[in-house]
Amino acid sequence: MGRAPCCDKTKVKRGPWSPDEDSTLIRFLETHGTAGNWIALPQKAGLKRCGKSCRLRWLNYLRPNIKHGNFTEDEDEIICTLYTQMGSRWSLIASNLPGRTDNDVKNYWNTKLKKKLLAGKVISLITTNNYINSNKFPEKSCNRTTPHDLDSSISTPPSPSTYDHRHHHNHLHFSSFSSQPQMISSSSPPPFPILTDHMGYGSSSTLVNSTHEISLMSSDPTPHHFSQLGHVSHEFSTNLNNSSSSIFTSSQEGGSSSVSVSADNSSSLAMENSSNKSLSADGSVVHEDLQGGVLMDFSFGIGGPIYNEFVNSSSGIWFQDQKASHEDEAGLSYCCYPNLGDHQSSSYADTKQAQGLINQSVINQY
DNA sequence: AAATTCGTCAACCGCTCCTCC
DNA sequence: AGGAGGAGCGGTTGACGAATT
């Protein structure tokens, strides 16, 4: 037997509030206050609303000194800092931002700040890693995020009791497949840049090894079997000892993506995409010089921009498509597992195959 | 120009927390 | 101590305008 609902849902009005309702609520609250009982308030005020709805309307919209929109850089910073420290405790975070409501902060985080931070973090992460000149693979690790843990790829806030600030310094933290987030520091220097692109529908990837050779890998139609392509129809350079080399691949939608890899001592990678529209709206990062990191895939032609994918070579990062454009693509995720040797995959057409492969490999190897 | 997709955000839902009796 | 019920919270939904195809 469940708990009785707070009001009769069939007898209360729902949906957007009218100006009349707003003024009725404001007048009542200014005169009487809540009298410590929101549930009884609508009846007293003459509103055909649920008490909870009244409370929400007042707290999030009508009460004095509410600020809407236009979060400042300072506020961004506060939100990011507090989110890192305490997670999605929106009311607590909002209490540090005068005039902001928990709902506002939550919406802002979910719609804008998360993406902004993600892009920034990726740059930050990549900037901290200098791995073109490294020639050793990191220790075995299985740092992964689940497709549902996009937040985790930014930084999974641990529970306050276990959080150790010493480990939170300019590294991404990943949670494993276990339901409980884990703090795993990506302290091992990543080995080599690895990039993948979706040349055609099958999985393909480009692997840059310690001698700066590039291998283009592709899966045949059979899952679990990857083989090195004998040849590729894409122009690429096999010599990264030059100060600058380029790899050209084609995106699925026909636009061509150009990745310039500079393998000189500065260990920088510059990337650009000649198909502007295939960049995500918030993908300005691809125009920046990235230190020792490689952008994976630029976009999929599935009806809209997606988050750009990056890989930190010591840790796979899962990125999830935004809202599915097509039903059967709902919840797609892309993955990269640099620590699994040659097996790289990100093409959405075989995500499930890759996932199966990766999961098996993980079981076998870790 | 119309259709489709995306982004935003107010509002809702259901759960836990807290207080009072 | 424990049960009832209101308050508070965080996740999610859905309407709607904007942007894109």
Question: How many Cα atoms within 13 Å fall on the side-chain side of residue A133?
Answer: 8
| A325 has a pLDDT exceeding 60 | no
User: What are the backbone dihedrals phi and psi of residue A63, each rounded to the nearest 5 degrees, phi first?
Assistant: -65, 155
A87: the nucleotide nearest its CA (via C1') is: C10
| A56 has a pLDDT exceeding 50 | yes
* pLDDT tens by residue, A9-55: 777 888 899 999 999 999 898 888 887 788 888 888 888 899 899 99
Between the CA of A265 and the C1' of B4, what is the distance in angstroms?
48
In this structure, the strands spanning A245-250 and A294-296 are: unpaired
Residue A294's nearest CA partner among A146, A192, A199 is A192
What is the structure's pLDDT at A86? Answer: 83
Q: What is the mean pLDDT of residues A341-345?
A: 30
Residue A87's nearest CA partner among A12, A204, A175 is A175
Protein-proximal positions, strand B, CB < 7 A = 4-16
Grade residue A3 by pLDDT with cuts at 50, 70 and 90: low
Q: How far is CA A326 from CA A253, A296, A354, A365, in A?
A: 16, 22, 20, 35
CB-CB contact of A315 with A335 (8 Å): no
Contacting residues 40-79/A vs strand B (CB within 7 A): 50, 52-53, 56-57, 60-61, 68-69
3-state secondary structure chain A: CCCCCCCCCCCCCCCCCCHHHHHHHHHHHHHHCCCCCCCCHHHHHCCCCCHHHHHHHHHHHHCCCCCCCCCCHHHHHHHHHHHHHHCCCHHHHHHCCCCCCHHHHHHHHHHHHHHHHHHHHHHHHHHHCCCCCCCCCCCCCCCCCCCCCHHHHHHCCCCCCCCCHHHCCCCCECCCCCCCCCCCECCCCCCCCEEECCCCCCCEEEEECCCCCEEEEEECCCCCCEEECCCCCCCECCCCCCCCEEEEEECCCCCEEEEEECCCCCCEEEEEECCHHHCCCCCHHHHCEEECCEEECCCCCCCCCCCCEEEECCECCCEECCCCCCHHHCCCEECCCHHHCCCCCCCHHHHHHHHHHHHHHHHHHC
A282: the nucleotide nearest its CA (via C1') is: B7
Residue A296's nearest CA partner among A322, A269, A277 is A269
The answer to whether strand B lies under 7 Å from the CB of residue A90 is no
Contacting residues 248-277/A vs strand B (CB within 7 A): none
* pLDDT tens by residue, A303-322: 222 233 333 333 333 333 33
User: What are the backbone dihedrals phi and psi of residue A258, each rounded to the nearest 5 degrees, phi first?
Assistant: -120, 125
The answer to whether strand B lies under 7 Å from the CB of residue A1 is no
* pLDDT tens by residue, A156-199: 443 333 222 222 222 222 222 222 222 222 223 222 222 333 22
Q: What is the mean pLDDT of residues A344-360?
A: 31
- A30-39, A55-64, A260-269: least confidently modelled range: A260-269
The answer to whether strand B lies under 7 Å from the CB of residue A325 is yes
* Cα distance between the two ends of chain A: 46
Q: What is the spatial distance between Cα A217 and Cα A227, in angstroms, rounded to a whole number?
A: 6
Residue position matching structure tokens 């010599």: A239
Q: What is the spatial distance between Cα A341 and Cα A51, in angstroms, rounded to a whole number?
A: 58
pTM over 0.75: no
* Protein residue minimizing CA–C1' distance to B4: A303
Q: What is the mean pLDDT of chain A?
A: 47
Contact partners, residue A103, CB within 8 Å, separation at least 6 = A56, A60, A90
A88: the nucleotide nearest its CA (via C1') is: C10
- Of A151-160, A265-274, A320-329, highest mean pLDDT: A151-160
What is the structure's pLDDT at A64? Answer: 85
Between the CA of A50 and the C1' of C15, what is the distance in angstroms?
20
Name the strands in the sheet holding A204-208, side by side, starting at the edge strand that comes first in the sequence. Answer: A194-196, A204-208, A214-219, A226-228
Residue A329's nearest CA partner among A352, A361, A307, A309 is A352
What is the structure's pLDDT at A70? Answer: 82
**Which residues, by CB, come closer than 7 Å to strand C?**
A 3-4, 6, 15, 34, 36-39, 51-52, 55-56, 88-92, 102-103, 106-107, 110, 277, 281
| A116 has a pLDDT exceeding 70 | yes
What is the structure's pLDDT at A119? Answer: 60
